[in-house]
Amino acid sequence: MQSTSQPSSLPSTVAASVAADTSTLSYEQAGVNYDLIDPLKIAAQRAAAATAVSMTGRGFAEVTASRGESAYVLDVGPFYLASIVECLGTKTLVADEMAQLTGRSWYDGIAQDTIAMAINDLITVGATPLVVQAYWAAGGSAWFEDKLRANALVDGWKKACDVCKVAWGGGETPALAGIVEAGRIDLAASCTGIVSPKDRLSLGDHLGAGDAIVLLASSGIHANGLSLARKLVERLPQGYLTEIDPVNHPGLSYGAALLAPTVLYSPVTEALAAAGIRPHYCANITGHGWRKLLRHPIEMTYRIHTVPPVTPVLKFIQEQARQDDHEAYSTLNMGAGFALYVAAEDAERCVEIAKAQGIDAWVAGRLEAGPKRLLIEPLGIEYGSDDLQLR
Amino acid sequence: MQSTSQPSSLPSTVAASVAADTSTLSYEQAGVNYDLIDPLKIAAQRAAAATAVSMTGRGFAEVTASRGESAYVLDVGPFYLASIVECLGTKTLVADEMAQLTGRSWYDGIAQDTIAMAINDLITVGATPLVVQAYWAAGGSAWFEDKLRANALVDGWKKACDVCKVAWGGGETPALAGIVEAGRIDLAASCTGIVSPKDRLSLGDHLGAGDAIVLLASSGIHANGLSLARKLVERLPQGYLTEIDPVNHPGLSYGAALLAPTVLYSPVTEALAAAGIRPHYCANITGHGWRKLLRHPIEMTYRIHTVPPVTPVLKFIQEQARQDDHEAYSTLNMGAGFALYVAAEDAERCVEIAKAQGIDAWVAGRLEAGPKRLLIEPLGIEYGSDDLQLR
């Protein structure tokens, strides 16, 4: 997993005077250079894989299939242990600008975003999240002087833990002047959980032709694609205060819409477990957008017949960035934040269970024998295995 | 836990021309303001404690005594689960300066430092560390262009995992331009482990009068006190290249001595467990120096009769900062990086077992009935409970 970044090079007050730029804005243009990061990632993955031998002969065994998945899984006997650390990314930069523009703190939602980054990845392997640790690295002690903001962060963190029924175990609040920029904060969360009973493990062993793809609604951009979203502000006449849909959502600013907190999906996966439904696989739709649906290494065709409605802020970003559907769906979640791959006969019940948890859901497609590709039929989009190098 | 920071305000080439400053330099003067952080910490601790109710009725129970300890402990039935996230702090700023001065990368040691911050805290509760996750948040993709440095980080990380016999589960390598400063990296590690068998739990339930205090040697400053150490560079004629002890350690520069990697103590705690020794309590001696020996809330007098030799770099810092022993021992580890509180009859065996792992150790003192205080008799130092507000 990678988060990416690009400083918002103009404050929105300045951005308001910038002439409209009508060219297409891609994710790469927004300042991300994967070529530089990827060799390190590959070296790190190799080195990490080589550490697994330490477990042998001690009653523990790595679940090697979890390497490359969203959380790492270890067999500790009575159940599996799953763990992860996840960074929020640069969404705080939007919150900081919006705080200046609106006079309120947006860090309650930011807290939920940070926890969602960790929880929504951890649950993909079938884990029940149990403990979250907070990592709040500020650019200096002064960050904590803003009591409103600090309290919003604490309150939002607790609320998100309560929604996911996890214990907030503690954490770290370093002041890192010289490393983190003054006035900024680097937020991350680690999460530990267990897969119990062990047949809840959802690493794709049972994934196959005929399985249904159930998509769960997103609330907006979540916490991926923010580099692009921030870059776009330069083009907007009113910056973050630009209304994104005056007709249907009067008063909804771009900034506020971006800051809609990420949906926490663990209440759905826990409700599914309680109902006896065992997803064969799950994908958290984050960076790389819908290409994440192809995440599992299996050679299979994923055919989408039903596309969820696009949330207004994502529609707005797509329009402003002049992206066609092929590019937009390859970058953003476009209204679907999480995918469940389930036995066909469980699909409708998954939708009902998700809705009972307050999260909209759709039976959106199915798996078929065939070359590895994702077909989004209503939109005429196809992604091949070459479009996704995630693992 | 808190790490702290202060930018090295002068590059060492400039520092070389700064006139010697002979005044005392305290930790607070080095740029740390706990008053600003503490209210947030207290609010966060209260909110975190309130999340524990989510565990009830689900077969899990928080071990409430672990709140305020170095790692959070959850009872999951067959064993306890322990987890933590820890920040390295600002030691990378020393590594970055030294890389410029010496032309080599110091990030292999930095990797070990980061892992040690997490592992050495996790083991205090009696846990066997199992999985480490890497959190490497760079100031931009360009950080990874320096292949020498990136490879040193990967290699050092793997080696430290191998020493501790933990699986490197994965991690996060975000590029956070706008949050992390350009050219810098924010390093942290999360660690998950189990306490098994459950009687290895060492939260101090059996701590009491007559117990021995065994101290384990440090390698130097470890990763706490770096704000002070970096501030001090301004006073040194040759900056980081100043020799700290030309007679006994010719050629050893201040920078190289600071960058001695933190000792990993889990091989000792695991060897103790294998030998059937159950420490009653453990303290990782990090920030607040020897005041950490008073960490447990028990009302008891801790009497030290044997003081380990002070590592050269710490002696140098004490001298240069014009600190008396009372101040130095309240800030720095002064040669002792970890404390084991064990039954008196186990003390000598602890020393032998530590030495067999290549780590020097001393039976340094004992617990007595009496008011809460630490007496370092050979140095005439006393710290009372008012000197330590850690929890």
DSSP class of residue A389 equals: -
Mean pLDDT (chain A, rounded)? 91
B144 inside 8 A of chain A by CB: yes
Which neighbouring-strand residues pair with A341? A213, A281
Does B364 score more than 90 pLDDT?
Answer: yes
Alpha-carbon span A91 to A258, nearest angstrom: 9
Beta-carbon contacts of residue B19 (< 8 Å; ≥ 6 apart): none
Buried b (16+ CB within 10 A) or exposed e, A88-123: bbbbbbbbbbbbebeeebbbbbbbbbbbbbbbbbbb
Instruction: List, for residues A154-206, the tens digit of each pLDDT value.
Output: 999 999 999 999 999 999 999 999 999 999 999 999 999 999 999 999 999 99
- Which of B153, B168, B200 lies at the terminal end of a domain, its last residue? B200
pLDDT at B329: 97
Q: What is the pLDDT of residue B7?
A: 29
Q: Tell which of B173, B200, B227 closes a domain.
A: B200
Residue B265's φ and ψ, nearest 5 degrees, are -95, -5
* Residue B342 and residue B200 in contact, taking contact as beta carbons nearer than 8 Å: no
B159 close to A (CB below 8 A): no
Q: Does A11 touch chain B (CB under 8 A)?
A: no
Residue type, A196: S
Q: Examine the domain organization and report whether A317 and A226 are in the same domain.
A: yes
- From chain B, the residues in CB contact with A47 under 8 A are 154-155, 157-158, 168
CB atoms within 10 A of CB A362: 22
Residue B349's domain comprises 212-387
Do B227 and B365 belong to one domain? yes
Rounded average pLDDT over A205-234? 96
The residue with greater pLDDT, B192 or B28, is B192
A31 pLDDT more than 70: no
pLDDT at B36: 64
Residue A12 lies in a domain: no
Residue B18 in contact with partner chain A when CB distance is under 8 A: no
Any domain includes B7: no
pLDDT of residue B387: 74
Residues B162 and B217 placed together within one structural domain of the fold: no
* Tens-place pLDDT, residues A323-362: 999 999 999 999 999 999 999 999 999 999 999 999 999 9
Nearest Cα residue to A222 out of A86, A103, A128, A321: A86
* Under 8 Å between Cβ of A88 and A216: no
Question: What does the angle CA A166 – CA A292 – CA B171 come to, to the nearest 5 degrees?
Answer: 50
Tell me if B39 is assigned to some domain.
no
Look at residue A23 and tell me whether its pLDDT is greater than 80. no
| pLDDT higher than threshold 50 for residue A55 | yes
Say if A26 falls within a structural domain: no
Q: What is the pLDDT of residues A281-326, one digit of tens each?
A: 999 999 899 999 999 999 999 999 999 999 999 999 999 999 999 9
> Is residue B181 domain-shared with residue B245, that is, in the same domain?
no
* pLDDT per position as a tens digit, A67-91: 989 999 999 999 999 999 999 999 9
By Cβ distance, the residue of A86, A178, A190 closest to B7 is A178
Whether the CB of B74 is below 8 Å from some CB of chain A: the reply is: yes
Last residue of a domain, one of B148, B178, B200: B200
Name the minimum distance, in Å, from the CA of A231 to any CA of chain B.
Answer: 12
A260 and A382 assigned to the same domain: yes
Q: What's the confidence (pLDDT) of residue B5? A: 34
CA B368 to CA B328: how far, in whole Å?
Answer: 24
- Assess whether A194 and A287 both reside in one domain: no
Amino acid at A205: D
Q: What's the pLDDT score for residue A14?
A: 27
Q: Same domain, yes or no, for B239 and B368? A: yes
Do B345 and B237 share a structural domain? Answer: yes
Is B377 contained in some domain? yes
pLDDT value at residue A211: 98
Angle formed at CA A18 by CA A16 and CA A23, multiple of 5 degrees = 120
Cβ pair B130:A86 closer than 8 A? no
3-state DSSP call for residue A38? helix
pLDDT in tens, A134-158: 999 999 989 988 999 999 999 999 9
* Helical pair A107-122 and A266-274, crossing angle rounded to 10 deg: 40
Total number of domains in chain A: 2
> What would the pLDDT profile of B178-232 be if each residue is shown by its tens digit?
999 999 999 999 999 999 999 999 999 999 999 999 999 999 999 999 999 999 9
**Section A368-386 average pLDDT:** 94
3-state secondary structure string, chain B? Answer: CCCCCCCCCCCHHHHCCCCCCCCCCCCHHHCCCHHHHHHHHHHHHHHHHHHHHHHCCCCCEECHHHCCCCCEEEECCCCEEEEEEEECCCHHHHHHHHHHHHCCCCHHHHHHHHHHHHHHHHHHHCCEEEEEEEEEEECCHHHHHCHHHHHHHHHHHHHHHHHHCCEEEEEECCECECCECCCCEEEEEEEEEEECCHHHCCECCCCCCCCEEEEEECCCCCCCCHHHHHHHHHHCCCHHHCECCCCCCCCCEHHHHHCCCCCCCHHHHHHHHHCCCCCCEEEECECEHHHHHHCCCCCCEEEECCCCCCCHHHHHHHHHCCCCHHHHHCCCCCCEEEEEEECHHHHHHHHHHHHHCCCCEEEEEEEECCCCEEEEHHHCEEEEHHHCCCC
Whether B21 is in a domain gets the answer no
* Tokens (6 digits) for A298: 């299996």
- The interface predicted TM-score of the complex, written ipTM, equals 0.91
Q: Do A161 and A216 reside in the same domain of the chain?
A: no
Provide the pLDDT for residue B385: 74
Contact B174 A47 (CB under 8 A): no
One domain, residues B114 and B239: no
Output DSSP code: residue A175: B
Q: Which residue of B has its CA nearest to A128?
A: B58
Residues of B in contact with A7 (CB under 8 A): 177-178
Q: Which residues of A touch B2 (CB under 8 A)?
A: 172-175
Share of chain B above pLDDT 90, in %: 84
Q: How confident is the model at residue A7 (pLDDT cuts 50, 70, 90)?
A: very low
pLDDT tier for residue B112 given thresholds of 50, 70 and 90: very high
Both A141 and A263 in one domain: the answer is no
Q: What's the confidence (pLDDT) of residue B368?
A: 98
**From edge to edge, which strands make up the β-sheet containing A80-87?**
A61-62, A72-75, A80-87, A185-195, A128-138, A167-172
As a whole number, mean pLDDT of residues B82-93 equals 97
| pLDDT in the model for residue A165 | 97
Structure-token pair, residue A312: 């207004």
Whether residues A168 and B76 touch (CB distance < 8 A) is answered with no
Whichever domain contains B160, its CATH number is: 3.30.1330.10
The larger pLDDT score, comparing residue B6 to residue A56, is at A56
Mind listing the pLDDT tens digit for each residue in B317-353? 999 999 999 999 999 999 999 999 999 999 999 999 9
In a domain, A373, yes or no: yes
- Residue-wise pLDDT for B61-76, tens only, equals 999 999 989 999 999 9
Q: Measuring CA to CA, how many Å separate A363 from each of A123, A206, A213, A217, A383?
A: 20, 19, 6, 11, 20
Residue identified by tokens 């990967």 is B154
Q: Do B50 and A158 touch (CB under 8 A)?
A: yes
pLDDT band at A277 (very low <50, low <70, confident <90, very high): very high
Q: Alpha-carbon distance B189 to B134, whole Å?
A: 5
**Spatial separation of the C-alpha atoms in residues B194 and B81, rounded to whole Å:** 5
Closest-approach residue (CA) in chain A for B117: A172
Asked which of A355-369, B1-15, B229-243, B360-374 is least confident by mean pLDDT, the reply is B1-15
Asked if the structure places residue A53 within a domain, the reply is: no
Count of C-beta atoms within a 10 Å radius of residue B182: 13
Do residues A368 and A314 both lie within one domain? yes
CB distance B166–A51 less than 8 Å?
yes
B5 contacts in A (CB within 8 Å)? 140, 174-179
> Could you report the per-residue pLDDT of B255-314, keeping only the tens digit for each?
999 999 999 999 999 999 999 999 999 999 998 999 999 999 999 999 999 999 999 999
Check residue B17 and give its pLDDT: 29
Q: Give the whole-angstrom CA distance, residue A111 versus residue B381.
A: 44
CATH number at residue A381: 3.90.650.10
User: What does the pLDDT look like over A104-134, one tens digit per residue?
Assistant: 999 999 999 999 999 999 999 999 999 999 9
At A267, give phi and psi (nearest 5°): -60, -30
